Amino acid sequence: MRKVFARLDDLLIERLFQPLIDVLNDRIGVGWAACACVCTDVASLAWIVSRARALSGAVDHWRAGAAVGEFGLLLLGLTALVSLRMLFRRTARHRRCNPLRPAMRSHRAFVLILLAARLMQMHVPGVSDAADAMMLLFSASALYLGACAERPPIRRRDTRLAAAGVG
């Protein structure tokens, strides 16, 4: 099963997300880390929207235990997304090979499974269900964009050195 997902994972990175990052980088100068951070920001907003109805309902009906539980769930999700965003920013500072591609394969698998399960459950989506699916979609996109590496810089030979036979 791991080998099957590894092939699917590599296919999504190499055929969808890496070309997308290359185009964005060429056209507007935005790299993988900035795109991944934007996706986590959108996922955070979608998470807030998806939890707002349950939290406001618990507060409206004076159910303290449910309100504290919903608020804790909201904070837990936001903490996870903010931590992921900080990881992307920290990794982008190092100009080496991107370590997030192999390290986060299980995270990407888990989020894709959750996204598929959420999409199969949505017959007539409400606002909170659609926001939850949107949060999972943008989280998966952030994880895949975070797995993309910057293209290596183009090495240009110095024409003066090449003419002298040194480079």
The DSSP-derived string for 43-76 is: HHHHHHHHHHHHHHHHHHTT-HHHHHHHHHHHHH
Looking from the CA of 85 toward its CB, the CA atoms found within 13 Å total 17
CA neighbor of 138 nearest in space, from 30, 46, 12 = 46
CA end-to-end span of the chain, whole Å?
48
Quote the tokens at residue 14: 């190499």
Report whether pLDDT(154) > 60.
Answer: no
Question: What's the whole-model pTM score?
Answer: 0.79
Domain boundaries, the chain: 10-148
Report pLDDT digits (tens) over 69-98.
788 878 898 999 999 999 888 887 776 667
Is 155's pLDDT higher than 70? no
Instruction: Give the confidence band of 144 by pLDDT, cuts at 50, 70, 90.
Output: very high
Asked if the model's pLDDT at residue 157 lies above 90, the reply is: no
Residues 104-142: tens digit of each pLDDT: 899 999 999 999 998 888 777 788 888 889 999 999 999
Of 140, 139, 110, which Cα lies nearest the Cα of 42?
139
36 Cβ neighbours under 8 A, 6+ residues apart: 85, 88, 142, 143, 145, 146
